[in-house]
Structure 1
Amino acid sequence: MELERRDFRAMMFYDFMRKISVEQSHDNLVEAFQDQAPSKCTVERWYLDFRRERTSLQDEARSGLPSTAVTPETIAAAETLVREDSRINYEQFAETLKIGKAAINTILHDYLGVIRLAARWIPHYLFEMQLEARVEWCRFMLKKYKGGESKQV
């Protein structure tokens, strides 16, 4: 059974209301849930919030960029930008897509498979047709220069 953070917070709040110590509350959670249990530091932080009379167990709203900027929409938008202008840089990506450079790096390298070479974004992996063309070119050159035995090499 997979528990959510809110479930653990409810258990910590129950322990807090029963005047159980942070250490004992953490030990109880670890005993019952092993690796799923929150860390002792997390239990301490929540006990501190409960002492400050926090009663909501929900996550508080956070400002700033979303926690994950790598979405199918941003991947598609980045792919469009690369196709329209292969010389686009990280700053232009960040300005256009409104995401951080780390997310841009992840999208470009992990999802789109492109690398920056001579100020252009190019595919990192070759397509089958490109690989075959390279093999054919090498065979042609070997035949032309007699396998490297020619004095023209």
Structure 2
Amino acid sequence: MSRSRVYQWCIWFGEGRTSLENEPKSGRPKILTNEENTTRVDELFQFDRRTKIREITLKLEIAKSTVHEIVHDTLGCRKVDKARPHDLETSLLSLDQKVQRAEFRRLRDGCRVLGYKSCDPLRNFATGSGSAAQYCRTFDRLIDAIRRKRPGLLRRGFVLQHDNATLHSANLTQQWLQCYGWEILPHPTHSPDLAPSDFKFVFTFEASFRRHGFRDRR
């Protein structure tokens, strides 16, 4: 303690002061961040997280600086930018779902994304009767291979998992399946997962376009 402060305390004790605590001062309190106001502000935020500090000031009749300190310092709230969603909705996808849709996604124009190179997707266009005919020819080669390697397997029958893709729902494909009597297991529409029956034919479809040149990737 400095010498001047010691002199000041000697004067106060000489005037009859007996306490070392600060005496209450007159005028408006410096800040009103008590537990009651903190609870009231927190209740408003729990009811509506989009509430602004100006609205809280008008509803609770507390100074704006006090509300600002309660919100940012006491409650630890931070302002969220407009691009980030404030509320959790069922339409928001998790990180795993976004990755699955990025790896394989069926678009409305009938094209199928097989992979990504740089920022441009590599597309395999699977539309038209020609693709359905190639799909059936692939099955014909599969049956020939099964007859040579596992003759008894054809009598047991097969189960294919198909969705509503143009290639699967084509008339030529449906006629081929009815002719051989293969059972179809439906696949969920617009599912981000690749049907197990498609894994064998991805490389066949991709190889058919290696002999063709395209001016752009659209």
| TM-score, L = length of structure 1 | 0.43
User: Structure 2 length normalisation: TM-score?
Assistant: 0.34
Q: Which has the higher helix share?
A: 1
Query: Which structure has the highest strand share of the two?
Result: 2
